[in-house]
């Protein structure tokens, strides 16, 4: 088995474990968040994207860190929208772990 395939399998196992452990954490998130592994050329780690809030994203070395960081990004996004008099999008709640 190639090293790349072995690494991909390890990453998938980590993501599955994270999803199982993160279900309770995501209950605290109001907006749906997409967590995805970053490519090697992007510095590895994980990205966290908030589809309901255009341009709202963050990252972290671990999925947990990405979620914690994106919560700060959500708060900052909402604060900036208030300051600019822009509407705050409603929650879509259409996303789920896949």
* 66-81 per-position pLDDT tens digit: 999 999 999 899 999 9
Q: Give strand ranges (E) for the chain.
A: 34-37, 46-49, 57-60
pLDDT at 27: 44
Pick the closest to residue 46 from 34, 30, 56, 54 (CA basis).
34
Residues of the chain scoring pLDDT < 70:
1, 18-29, 93-98
CATH fold of the domain at 3-83: Double Stranded RNA Binding Domain (3.30.160)
Q: What is the mean pLDDT of the chain?
A: 82
Q: Which two tokens stand for residue 33?
A: 């968040």
pLDDT given for residue 54 in this prediction = 94
What predicted TM-score, i.e. pTM, was given to this entire model? Answer: 0.65
pLDDT at residue 2 in the model: 85
Show me where the domains of the chain are located.
Answer: 3-83
- Rounded Cα–Cα distance for residues 43 and 71 (Å): 21
Q: Two tokens at 60?
A: 């972290």
Instruction: Provide the pLDDT for residue 98.
Output: 42
Q: How many other C-beta atoms are found inside a 10 Å radius of the C-beta of residue 54?
A: 9
Predicted local confidence at residue 24, as pLDDT: 44
C-alpha 19, offset from chain centre: 11
């Amino acid at each position: 088995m190639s090293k790349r395939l072995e690494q991909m399998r390890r990453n998938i196992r980590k993501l599955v474990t994270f999803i199982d452990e993160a279900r309770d954490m995501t209950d605290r998130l109001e907006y749906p968040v997409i967590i995805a592994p970053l490519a090697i050329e992007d510095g590895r780690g994980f990205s966290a994207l908030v589809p309901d809030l255009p341009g709202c994203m963050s990252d972290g070395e671990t999925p947990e860190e990405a979620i914690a960081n994106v919560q700060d990004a959500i708060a900052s996004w909402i604060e900036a929208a208030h300051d600019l008099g822009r509407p705050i999008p409603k929650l879509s709640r259409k996303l789920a772990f896949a």
